[in-house]
Structure formats: structure tokens, C-alpha cells
Amino acid sequence: MDYPSQLKLDESSFPIEYEVVYKSSSSVRIKNGKVILKLSRFAREKKRDEIVAKFLKWAQKRLAKVAHSEFILPEYKNGGRICTHNKVYDLQIFVEDRRSAKTVVDEEGIKVFVSADKLDRVKEYVEKAIIKDQTSYLCEVVDELNQLYFQERYNLCRFKRMNHRFGSCSSKRNINIAYRLLFAPRDAFRYVCLHELAHLKQMNHSKKFWDLVACAMPDYKVQEKWLRDSGFMLG
């Protein structure tokens, strides 16, 4: 049976990637706007068809909840555009014969100079460059929210390339925010910053903690719902 290469939903379409894995179970996930199916090599013919149909139905329902107009996914390709809250980066990739890659951020955008054998690392190079360029923006937001609602001391705040969580606050009072939130709606981004700042007062998720969050952002549940329903699209 030929499986579809695209999942169409209204005016949008999402690429589907299939992979046969040496595991007893199959799985599906959505990452960076792509539906990824990992199919067990032990699932054959009719059984595999049933698994694919089930997974694609799940993906369709999941994607139907996403408000696509609220964010623009970054394009890590030559000529691509990466839109954050306060800046738009136009990406240019120059393939050269060089030992190490070089990334330049200027008024024109981001330029990556890289050898052909390292093209698969362009996304990594670009993310690191944007994290460095956007750190001052993060500090401004965190400082503003802290002064308005908490007045607590924290050690440092930084963007990190986190895939399984949106933020964290360590016992050393370090605040980490997921880099991918630069592509989320601004209010969702600010909610995560508030959430981690609240941990400076309550290092738990008790009622006192949620009261602090609600005082600072009365509609925080709206932002939580967006992150729950659409956050997976950010990567």
C-alpha cells in the first residue's frame, strides 16, 4: 500500500516521514511541522496499514487544534526567514571549502559559511547565533517581569536549546527558557518567564505558587492551553 507523503488540513499541508525501526512497537510524533511515523519492522501488511491509518488520524486531530496564524516556523535554509518577537533574520548559506563553520549576524540577517559536509549542522549554527543575539531581549523581559511582580534575586537567565520542556528554574536560581519560545506568541513566552520567576518564591507547584502566577497573569491558563495544544509545533 502506498502511504501519503502529505497530510492536508484546510489550506495547510504537512510532510509525512516514514521510518522502519527495529523495535516491537511503532510510534508517531509531530516535530517542526512534520509528522514522523516510526513503524516496527514486525508490523506487516494489514497490521501496518492499520497503524498508519490510526497514527494519521491522531495527527490530523492534533494539528486541527493548532492556531497557525499565531506563529511562523523558522526556515533553516538558504533564503529562509526566521521571525522572532523583535527581529526578522534573513538566512544566507555560503558553501565553502573551510575547516570550521562561521556564522555572522548583521543588519542584513544571518550568514553561515560552511563546508558541504557540515550542511546538516546549519540549524545548530543558526540557533546558537540567535540565542547569543537574543539574550539581551530575554534579560529585558525577565527583569521587567521580576521588578513588576516578584522583586526576587536570580543568578542568571538564558535561552537554551530544550526540546522536552519550555523552561526551568534551578536551586541555584538560574532561569532557563527554551529557545523555541522565540517563535511562540509573545504572551505564551512571557507566561513561561513568569512561571519560572514564580519559582524563586515557591520552588513547587503548590496553591501558593499558582496564586503568584495568577496575580501576575490572570489569564495564564489561556497561555498554558496554547502551549499544550500548539507548543509541540515549535520543535
| Adjacent-strand bridge partners of 24 | none
Where are the domains positioned within the chain? 6-64, 121-234
**From CA 42, how far away is CA 202, in angstroms rounded?**
48
Q: How many CB atoms lie within 10 A of CB 200?
A: 17
Check pLDDT > 80 for residue 224: yes
CATH code of 121-234, in short, is: 3.30.2010.10
What pLDDT was estimated at residue 1?
61
Q: pLDDT at residue 201 above 90? A: yes
**What's the rounded Cα separation, in Å, for the pair 185 and 183?**
7
Looking at the DSSP bridge assignments, the partners of residue 106 are 109
- Quote the pTM value: 0.82
Q: What is the pLDDT of residues 133-143, one digit of tens each?
A: 999 999 999 99
Taking residue 39's Cβ as centre, other Cβ atoms within 10 Å add up to 22
* Mean pLDDT, residues 180-192 taken together: 96
Number of Cβ atoms within 10 Å of the Cβ of 25: 11
